[in-house]
Homo-oligomer: A and B are copies of this chain.
Amino acid sequence: MTDQIDVFVREVGMRDGLQSVPEFMPTEAKKAWCTAEAAAGVPEIEVCSFVPPKLLPQFSDAGEVVKHALSIPGLTVAALMPNLKGAERGIEAGVHKLNYVVSVSESHNRANVRRSRAESIEDFGRIAALVRSLPAVRRPKLAAGLATALGCTIEGHVAEAEVVRVAVALAEAGADELAVSDTVGYGDPAGVRRLIKAVAAAVGGVTVTAHFHDTRGLGIANVYAGLLEGVDHFDTGLGGLGGCPFAGHKAAAGNVCSEEVVFLCRELGIETGVDLDRLIDCARLAETIVGHALPSKLLNAGTARPSRPAQAA
């Protein structure tokens, strides 16, 4: 890792990607993924979800994976928590950051966590209170995702004013970070720019981050749009993991691809602290772990040339 990082690329493929993989991924493989990607310079990894193992057996080894990740020097270890109970488990495990999600679409929130948005926001308030009650040394950062912020498969259009309202509620409840999330890949670059501006203006000092899925081919254009608006934290998935582009898993298209986002930043002269060649090796490892090809174009084509042009043309 370099000292100067302009844009933080956070790996979420181990959670957002693996939750769509039906087979249980061996704990050792998850550990190897963490180790390799941290060594490539990725500063933060969402390593698991503290959901009940009955609901998502994929994360039944969450404690062991977190323990391993915490042993990696310099890595920020994040985990998803669906509720207060999950937060308690995450705190006990000692993660550096707890990620929570509320869908801005009421219908989507009910479908996803069987609660109203208001109940989810209240629950987040209880988690924030619990976190504040901890001694500073054990206090994780709290991040809240605004799911379906750019559209919803159930409700269609999601109003910007609603996104801002939920964002402000979560910020007031105690979020350190807010992730504008294009959960189902409905966003376009102009919409991303308008929404990022509106949310950032409404929540003051809270870090606004971007969590985009590449469901309809616009993912990387939306990342570029975010960069143009000053976003400096992006959630990404190695290889574009998530769903399967050729098998009709329409509900679970992948996150924007980690190595393509790092490549974009590199070409734009933006420092991510990540070694791109090593990250591409990590994507190959992820392919091996999930057992099928991932959609990343860069993974197939390679970077092919040094980043900076030669002095002489």
Q: Does A305 contact B (CB under 8 A)?
A: yes
Please report which residues of chain A, range 179-237, place their CB below 8 angstroms from some CB of chain B when the two chains form the complex. 184-186, 188-191, 214-218, 220-221, 223-225
In the complex with contacts A158-B313, A268-B188, A313-B157, A301-B253 CB distance below 8 A: yes
Note all chain B residues with C-beta closer than 8 A to A188: 264, 267-268
Binding site for B on A (CB under 8 A): 151, 153, 156-159, 161-162, 184-186, 188-191, 214-218, 220-221, 223-225, 245-246, 248, 250, 253, 257, 260, 263-264, 267-269, 293, 295-298, 300-306, 309-310, 313
> Would you list the 6 A-B pairs with minimal beta carbon distance, nearest first?
A159-B313, A188-B267, A157-B309, A217-B260, A217-B297, A221-B224
Q: Provide a sorted-by-A list of 22 A–B residue pairs whose CB atoms are within 8 angstroms.
A: A151-B305, A153-B304, A156-B305, A156-B309, A157-B305, A161-B313, A184-B304, A185-B297, A188-B264, A189-B264, A190-B268, A215-B301, A217-B264, A217-B296, A217-B297, A220-B220, A221-B264, A224-B224, A246-B300, A248-B300, A253-B300, A295-B297
